[in-house]
Chains A and B, each alone.
Chain A
Amino acid sequence: MLGRLIRHELRATSVTMLPVMGLMLLVSAMANLALRFMDGKDVPGVLVLISGIVVIIFGVGLFALGFVSVYVMAMRFRNNLLKDEGYIMHTLPVSVHTHIWSKVIVSTLWYAATALCAVLSLIVVSLDVGFIKSLGQTLGELLKTLGDINNLELLTEVLVMLVLSAILMSLSFYASLSVGHSFASRKMLFSIVTFVVMFIFWCLFLYGVNYIVLGIRPERFDLHIDDFMSAWRLIFAYICALITAGGAACYLITAYFLQKKLNLE
């Protein structure tokens, strides 16, 4: 059933996500042309101004792409499980856990696709544009330096951390929305309040674990570059454990509220 739900989720979300990504790539192509205009000589001021606006739209669009992706995924959870569509979804012969996992997996896939789209947009905008090429070269050299340390392991661990963070983000939205929508009215307001309260608790938890339990103090932070990989491995394992703990708490809250406190309109 999980596979069927994922397939259905992908279809439902692609209705919004694919046009957004297509639009972003179109804006990137337009921004590329605009940059070429601005690079040229004897270009009329009006065209430079228009080109500048297109480039600004590209920059804003790149940030908006990330925001839209997160917003669409959170609203999909809300509309599909906590509003009218919930009458259909919660009466399917599927457990609440399967519902949550399908949403988490599909959201993570779309976040990855969004990141890919952002990279693709940057490539499109920088095709044959001189100063962006040199910026790209600098970034490439920086990555190479980092890569020399232990490229494959480091890259894998960073990817794992990014995926876990994306899952935590999705689950924190799901938990807030599930709690907020268990109230009879002002559901979105209560969802936001829940998110803020959860965030405060998360900060207190991190403070408690870092400062009190583990005794980590800024003055004790003594990291030698010779030990980079062993120090990094320790930090990586520690951060992954924290993210997993946060994710598990959000998952349990979401599952509890969907099972016991569901309040469809």
Chain B
Amino acid sequence: MAILKCSGLTKSFGRVTALEAVDLEVESGRIVGLLGPNGSGKTTLIKLANGLLAPGSGEILVGGKKPGTETKKLISFLPERQCLPDWMSARDLMGFYADFYDDFDRAAAEEMLKRLELDTGKKLKHLSKGSREKVQLIMVMARRAKLYLLDEPIGGVDPAARDYILETIISNYNPEASVIISTHLIADVERVLDDVVFLNKGRVALASSADDLRERHGKSVDMVFREVFKC
């Protein structure tokens, strides 16, 4: 059974259509790149899967269920922006996540924080922006979720931090789970992707396995992306 399934999914904000008749299936155990330029509907799709938005029409199912309390147990979500409460420390956050998610692996979180040489008792407001982002990623990846939704995880960070983030994702996700990485920085994520979905103006422009795409076009996914979205 597909962990994420969209059928005729449409979402509009006033007169602007963010997603239009999106049909998509994501199987378990795959790392999927949700690729598209800014404003193509990537974040809207992720918000719909998380139940942060209600669909205008069509359907979105996570683990066969409509987004709700039950599906939120299956999803580990990394938002595009830094949104952890800054009065908490990393230690407080581990307590918070362990309180609400049965699948939170505290030992894994502690190990990742230790490798980062981060003072877990320090309040987040006293950490650098980069460290706060890494703490947020660690909390997300320390869950043994069925579906990881990572919205622009490498957007706005330096190349060294990008490597750290991708390394953290690859070495910590639950292998039976699916990971959806939304980004427009294709070259950086290409090496980790099993499948790619190109979104353009709210529609699925292309959905394929990364290897098939490279074989068919004789080019990297990044090059194909540049051709599809050529201005």
Q: Kindly list chain A residues whose C-beta atoms are within 8 Å of the C-beta of B122.
A: none
Contacts of A84 in B (CB 8 A): 79, 81-83
Given known contacts A4-B100, A94-B100, A88 and B70 CB-to-CB distance under 8 angstroms: no
Q: B195-223 CB contact bits vs A (8 Å, 1 = yes)?
A: 00000000000000000000000000000
Shortest Cβ gap from B128 to chain A (Å): 18
Contact of B52 among A1, A4, A262 (CB under 8 A): A262
Interface residue range, chain B: 20 to 34
Q: Can you identify 18 A-B contacts, CB atoms within 8 angstroms?
A: A4-B99, A8-B96, A12-B87, A84-B81, A85-B84, A86-B52, A90-B52, A91-B51, A91-B75, A93-B73, A93-B100, A94-B69, A95-B69, A259-B54, A262-B52, A262-B53, A264-B52, A265-B81
Whether A87 contacts B77 by the Cβ 8 Å rule is yes
A92 is an interface residue with CB less than 8 A from chain B: yes
A15 at the interface (CB under 8 A from B): yes
Contact partners of A91 in chain B: CB under 8 A: 50-52, 72, 75, 77
Q: How many residues of A contact B (CB 8 A)?
A: 23
Residues in B with CB closer than 8 Å to A220 are: none
Residues of A within 8 A of B13 (CB): 184
List A contacts of B83 (CB < 8 A).
84-88
Q: Number of A-B pairs whose CB atoms are under 8 Å?
A: 57
* 8 Å CB interface, B79-113 against A: 79, 81-85, 87, 96, 99-101
Q: Mark A6-22, 1 if CB is under 8 A from B, else 0.
A: 00100010010000000
Known: A85-B83, A90-B52, A93-B72. 6 other contacts (CB 8 A): A4-B99, A4-B100, A87-B83, A88-B79, A91-B50, A92-B100
Min distance, Cβ A191 to any Cβ of chain B, angstroms:
20
Whether a CB of chain B sits under 8 angstroms from the CB of A260 is yes
Which residues of chain A come closer than 8 Å to B50, judged between CB atoms? 90-91
CB within 8 Å of A: which B32-71 residues: 47, 50-54, 68-70
Chain B's closest residue to A8 (CB) is B96
Chain A residues positioned under 8 Å from B77 (CB to CB): 87, 91
- Looking at the assembled complex, report how far the CB atom of A55 sits from the nearest CB atom of chain B, in whole angstroms: 34
A33-76 vs B, Cβ < 8 Å mask (1 yes, 0 no) = 00000000000000000000000000000000000000000000
Which A-B residue pairs are the 7 nearest by beta carbons?
A84-B83, A87-B79, A93-B72, A87-B83, A93-B73, A91-B77, A92-B100
- Give B48 Cβ to nearest chain A Cβ, in Å: 12
Known: A87-B77, A260-B54, A264-B52. A92 touches B85 (CB 8 A): no
Which A residues lie within 8 Å of B81 (CB)? 84, 87, 265
Residues of B within 8 A of A86 (CB): 52, 83
Q: Point out the residues of chain B lying under 8 angstroms from A4, CB to CB.
A: 99-100
Minimum CB distance partner of A260 in chain B? B54
